[in-house]
Amino acid sequence: MDKIVIQGGRRLRGSVPVSGAKNAALPLLFATLLGSGVSRLQNVPELRDIRTVAKLLQIFGAEVRCDDGSMEVDTRSVLSVEAPYELVKTMRASVLSLGPLLARFGHARVSLPGGCAIGARPINLHLKGLEAMGAEIELDHGYVEARAARLKGARIYLDLPTVTGTENLMMAATLARGETVLENAACEPEIVDLAEALIKMGATIEGAGTDTIRIQGADDLVPYEHKTMPDRIEAGTFLVAGAITGGDLTVTGARERHLEALIAKLREAGAAVTETGSGLHVSAPERLSAVDIKTSYHPGFPTDMQAQFMALMCLAEGTSLIRENVFENRFMHVCELQRMGADITIDGHTAKIKGVESLCGAPVMATDLRASASLVLAGLAAENTTEVARIYHLDRGYEKIERKLVAVGASIERVAAD
Ligand code: EPU
């Protein structure tokens, strides 16, 4: 299996571009199932999870063409409504096929995603919402079997502002009879991007980006042409890369309004982050100050940036407390950071990080995407060589990460393992 080898200690300088957002492109690709015809999505990142959606869409019977960052999905020949375990187990977001398939074809059979490295991650709120819209749902041999001749609009209060749950229900509601109101909905920018595409398909949606979303169901929808928003988590990861190396980096395509909580914390720690015409610029002194963070739903500090920010705090001056409030088990990177010399103790959902003056490169590996990114960041700042194994996690969410980082001065390469 390939690994990433990093010689640490180089300051990053120059411009690094942000790709299209994985977590926006995934629901956008499933949304194509809501209409019959050819939808075109631009700015699609070249990632393993995107290839998985393409395979799933093909299993449903769609024709999918990919060409240099754009994807065309022709849904005219969709026949199957079954998302098999073999694919769902490799990507939990496959559950986003449930709402569109059920709404358009009246039936969906989607494997239940299993456990996950960062916590239990149930989908009970997706199912409860669909039931409120009149779906009959059964669990059968590890599959969710959902049926409804036509969904009907409903008032749905989400106990937690689940991101993919909000997306699934918003997509389902576009073809339901009457009005659906989603209360305590997720407010993430990816929800807004999806709503914009659904509106292009003919849907009537108000309030996306707030905690109350109103959707008027339509009889049918048409295909869309849309450009995926930039990846705010990739952008945030590069901002931290600039900060952790004491660098001087412009992250082109990054949007301040997507990253306000992270930027506030970077500034509090002593980094300078400014908006430029093309994106965001970060520069940082050799050592930052420790700051505390608590992860939360948008617009709070994103859980998807927690591991990367922890790598930064490992080298800051002072003691920082990081509390993970969204997922139950998202500290898998801690043991590996400790192997590089970090001083971290865990107490339940809180990590206490005493900043050290230097980290020392080591062979490390991680069990999830953002944890892997945090190890790459630590490696960029560490002395000597860091080898990050199991990089298929990284390839799920970061497009050409080593090429992008080399171009701004990092010494990092992908090495094919023996
Ligand atoms: N939850 C429930 N029941 C549900 C749904 C969620 O209890 O029916 C709980 C989860 O267990 C979790 C919390 O609600 O504790 C929030 O989970 P959410 O459903 O919002 O997460 P998700 O939709 O499965 C998306 C992203 C994740 C990101 C989270 C939180 C996609 C494809 N995935 O997951 O991205 O961490 O929102 O922002 O959009 C990543 O990119 O690395 C990643 C994990």
- The pocket around ligand 1, CB under 6 angstroms, is made up of 23, 26, 93, 119-126, 160, 162-165, 303-304, 326-327, 369-370, 397
225 within some domain: no
**Do residue 15 and residue 26 come from a single domain?**
no
**Do residue 64 and residue 173 come from a single domain?**
yes
Strand order in the sheet with 70-74: 63-67, 70-74, 38-42, 225-227
**Do residue 7 and residue 51 come from a single domain?**
no
Single out the residue in 152, 186, 219 at which a domain terminates: 219
Cβ(327)–Cβ(116) below 8 Å: no
**Range 330-338 average pLDDT:** 96
**Range 372-398 average pLDDT:** 95
401 within some domain: yes
**Do residue 245 and residue 205 come from a single domain?**
no
Counted domains in the chain = 2
Single out the residue in 199, 219, 239 at which a domain terminates: 219
**Do residue 348 and residue 234 come from a single domain?**
yes
Q: What is the pLDDT of residue 328?
A: 87
Runs of H (alpha helix) within 187-345: 189-200, 232-244, 260-268, 306-314, 334-339
**Do residue 140 and residue 245 come from a single domain?**
no
What is the number of the ligand 1 atom nearest to the C-alpha of 120?
A: 11
What is the number of the ligand 1 atom nearest to the C-alpha of 118?
A: 44
Q: 183: CA distance to ligand 1 center in Å? A: 17
Pairwise pLDDT comparison (93 vs 120), residue with the higher score = 93
Q: Is 116 a catalytic residue?
A: yes
The confidence band for 416, taking pLDDT boundaries of 50, 70 and 90, is confident
What is the number of the ligand 1 atom nearest to the C-alpha of 123?
A: 8
What whole-number percentage of the chain has pLDDT above 90? 92
**Do residue 296 and residue 357 come from a single domain?**
yes
Residue 308's nearest CA partner among 236, 413, 253, 385 is: 236
Evaluate if residue 8 carries a pLDDT over 90: yes
- Give pLDDT tens digits for 340-366: 999 999 999 999 999 999 999 999 998
**Range 316-330 average pLDDT:** 95
Q: What CATH number has the domain bearing residue 82?
A: 3.65.10.10
Helix (H) or strand (E) holding 225: strand 225-227
CA torsion angle 60 65 71 73 (round to 10):
-40
Helix (H) or strand (E) holding 38: strand 38-42
Residue 274's nearest CA partner among 285, 291, 259, 292 is: 259
Single out the residue in 198, 219, 240 at which a domain terminates: 219
**Do residue 272 and residue 144 come from a single domain?**
no
Q: 119: CA distance to ligand 1 center in Å? A: 10
Q: Which amino acid is at 282?
A: V
**Range 59-70 average pLDDT:** 96
- How far apart (Å, rounded) are the C-alpha atoms in residues 87 and 102? 19
**Do residue 340 and residue 384 come from a single domain?**
yes
**Do residue 253 and residue 140 come from a single domain?**
no
Residue 310: domain span? 2-19+230-416
Q: What is the pLDDT of residue 418?
A: 65
Residues in the chain: 418
Evaluate if residue 120 carries a pLDDT over 90: no
**Do residue 178 and residue 279 come from a single domain?**
no
- Give pLDDT tens digits for 157-192: 999 999 999 999 999 999 999 999 999 999 999 999
Q: What is the pLDDT of residue 147?
A: 98
- Give pLDDT tens digits for 220-238: 999 999 999 999 999 999 9
165 within some domain: yes
Evaluate if residue 327 carries a pLDDT over 80: yes
Q: Which amino acid is at 394?
A: L
11 within some domain: yes
Evaluate if residue 114 carries a pLDDT over 70: no
